[in-house]
Amino acid sequence: MTRPAQTRPKESIRGAQRGASRGDTGTHPGVDIDAMLDDPTTEIIVCCGSGGVGKTTTAAALALRAAERGRSVCVLTIDPARRLAQSMGLVELDNTPRPVTDVDTSAGGSLDAMMLDMKRTFDEVVEAHASPEKAQQILQNPFYVALSSSFAGTQEYMAMERLGQLHAEGRWDLIVVDTPPSRSALDFLDAPERLSSLLDGRFIRLLLAPAKGPARFLTAGFGVVTAALSKILGAQILSDMQTFVAAFDTLFGGFRQRAEATYALLQAEGTAFLVVAAPEDAAMREAAFFVERLEGDAMPLAALVVNRVHDERAGGISAADAESAAPRLAHGGDTDRITADLLRVHAERMRVAAREQRVRRRFAAAHRNVASVTVPALPSDVHDLEGLRTVGRHLADEPTTV
């Protein structure tokens, strides 16, 4: 796949930059999330990051906040927690955007949500770009069924394919994308090229060779190859592969063109990437990798979102003071013993907060131009719309009592 010519990303961050966020003692600039959400030129927000850092919750919270501020929003999620899915009306896997109820629409906005159904999206691509007869032949092919359900990179590719479909519909003025969790940074950016390389690779083309051009003269030699492959793969599997490739061949160009169009869409000024992380060594290393890859591919990076942050200034008592006081109370009455236990818990919390702060400072020192926003560790999991509103308020640096 030939990617568009890359340019260096603009130094300015989408949305007004400001000083360090409330409760954030790092050296990196803050970012005005509400300005980004309210900006009508912001058409796509992509939340990316490794698994388990609150990426899906962040995407849902941003989508809800944008909708309640007047935007017409669709959020594409990958695999939300069951309770969060239920709160958004997504009880079952559904590839169709559906309205989220109990959203405050007084500002004129709306929120639709959907969960990516990888195979259904692949099927829709085939149905849309092949004749009914050929589509049926492809959909029933065993090799296609295996490819569309489990091939490495298919989920990432189909997330981008679905994004292109949603954007082309023009029903929403903002689409928020929760990308699949990636162990190697930004697999979804590479997925279109990997998938098209598979479908357009030398081995696949070899399966078509006897029927095409000069290769028809190699039929005898190809017969030797296929005989060997039949012994390795089995005659039926090889036959299924050949049938699939022959039927799918006419769609190769369409896959490549849409991949290039979606890649260009991701680079456009109307797109904003948010890298989501947790304040832990491994997660922040992954975040650094994501940031560097986005910058290298000229993707419009808006900010780093750090979830589940503990504030080392909370409570006004240092870890050392709490640890010093706890033993003096441990042998007193019931109230003193309870207080001693609470002091020990507080001391541990302060040590965690200090460790998190060091991790974040290292990241900020290495990436001084990357805006950052933090979301504090909440007392419970986010599993309903009110929880998403709370996260949204923290993202926007809006005072909250929670």
Residue 341: is its pLDDT beyond 70? no
Give the pLDDT band of residue 363 (cuts 50, 70, 90). very high
Look up the CATH superfamily of 17-318+345-395.
P-loop containing nucleotide triphosphate hydrolases (3.40.50.300)
Residue percentage of the chain with pLDDT more than 70: 64
Least confident of 28-42, 258-272, 284-298, 345-359: 345-359
Question: Is 90 exceeded by the pLDDT of residue 66?
Answer: yes
* Predicted pLDDT of residue 222: 40
As a whole number, mean pLDDT of residues 7-19 equals 43
Higher-pLDDT residue of 16 and 254 is 254
SS3 of the chain: CCCCCCCCCCCCCCCCEECCCCCCCCCCCEECHHHHHHCCCCCEEEEECCCCCCHHHHHHHHHHHHHHCCCEEEEEECCCCHHHHHHCCCCCCCCCCEECCCCCCCCCCEEEEEECCHHHHHHHHHHHHCCHHHHHHHHCCHHHHHHHHHCCCHHHHHHHHHHHHHHHHCCCCEEEEECCCCCCCCHHHHHHHHHHHHHCCHHHHHHHHHHCHHHHHHHHHHHHHHHHHHHHHCHHHHHHHHHHHHHHHHHHHHHHHHHHHHHHHHHCCCEEEEEEECCCHHHHHHHHHHHHHHHHCCCCEEEEEEEEECCCCCCCCCHHHHHHHHHHHCCCCHHHHHHHHHHHHHHHHHHHHHHHHHHHHHHHHHCCCCCEEEEECCCCCCCCHHHHHHHHHHHCCCCCCC
pLDDT tens by residue, 67-107: 999 999 999 987 777 777 877 877 765 788 999 989 999 99
Average pLDDT, the chain: 77
Per-residue model confidence (pLDDT) at position 85: 82
Report pLDDT for 371. Answer: 94
